[in-house]
Amino acid sequence: MRAIIFGAPGSGKGTYASRLQAKLGINVIVMGDMFRELMKQDTELGKKVKGYVEKGLLVPDDIVIETLKQRLSELPKDNGFIMDGFPRTIEQAKSLQALTSIDVILQLDVPDWIIIERLSSRRVCHNCGTIYNIRFLKPKVEGICDKCGGQLYQRPDDTPEVIAKRLQVYKEQTAPILQHFKEQDIPFVVSTATALETPPEIIVEKIMVELKNLKLI
């Protein structure tokens, strides 16, 4: 199964993708992780990516596609993937489809108020980067990391005002891409969250049922 998972920041893409990976035994391809891994390698492509990232610039599409092509070639034969964080534009979507076919779009439909509540409650350890949530995943001692004793802080982009702007940008950028895939008659599995504390396992099981109905697993 070759899938792309779409969802706004804070919708749970990473959480659901990792659980689906465990159940299905397929790869999760996260563009950000792929770039970080590539930058550690002393290759021509790794040096190109590092040059852009270290300057705070977006990696050009041709290098993104070259990186993705290399990653896809490394996957075991007949092993599927879930793509997370790509494509971000229609041109990238077309380039991806030139490399491989896409079987399904996994769309996470999470109301803005849930995302804002989730992300604005997030706290991160200054030392080790462990993530907490002051509503659902509290540290044993308020403001202190359980693992290393470091101070917890709120990221500047985790305030309600900034989150609302990020959500608006996501909607504007993603709507045309989703429409593009709909026009290609690629099936969608849409998972809707209606409660703040819905366990991820419930959503994942619903996705699994829909994938079975589509005969993709």
Please give the backbone phi and psi of residue 105, each rounded to the nearest 5 degrees, phi first.
Answer: -110, 125
Q: Domain 2-26+80-113+174-213 carries which CATH code? A: 3.40.50.300
The model's pTM: 0.84
Closest among 95, 102, 75 to 5, alpha carbons compared:
102
Q: Which helix (H) or strand (E) holds 50?
A: helix 44-54
Domain chopping of the chain, boundaries: 2-26+80-113+174-213
Residues 163, 120 contacting (CB under 8 angstroms): yes
pLDDT at 107: 97
pLDDT digits (tens, 9 = 90+) for 33-57: 888 888 888 888 888 888 888 887 7
| Confidence bin at 154 (pLDDT 50/70/90) | very high
Query: What does 112-169 look like in DSSP terms, one character per residue?
Result: HHHHHHHHHTEEEETTT--EEETTTB--SBTTB-TTT-PBEE--GGGSHHHHHHHHHH
CB neighbours (10 Å) of residue 45? Answer: 14
Residues 106, 73 contacting (CB under 8 angstroms): no
What is the crossing angle of helices 61-74 and 44-54, to 10°?
A: 130
| Confidence bin at 204 (pLDDT 50/70/90) | very high
- For residue 95, give the 3-state DSSP assignment: helix
Two tokens, residue 64: 């993104």
Closest among 5, 6, 4, 11 to 163, alpha carbons compared:
11
Q: Measure the CA–CA gap between 194 and 6, rounded to whole angstroms.
A: 17
Q: In what order do the strands lie in the sheet with 131-133?
A: 131-133, 122-125, 152-153
- For residue 88, give the 3-state DSSP assignment: coil
pLDDT digits (tens, 9 = 90+) for 75-131: 887 789 999 989 988 999 999 999 999 999 999 999 999 999 888 999 999 999 898
Two tokens, residue 58: 């977006």
Closest among 24, 9, 19, 137 to 78, alpha carbons compared:
24
| Confidence bin at 139 (pLDDT 50/70/90) | very high
Catalytic residues, which ones? 13, 88, 122, 155, 166
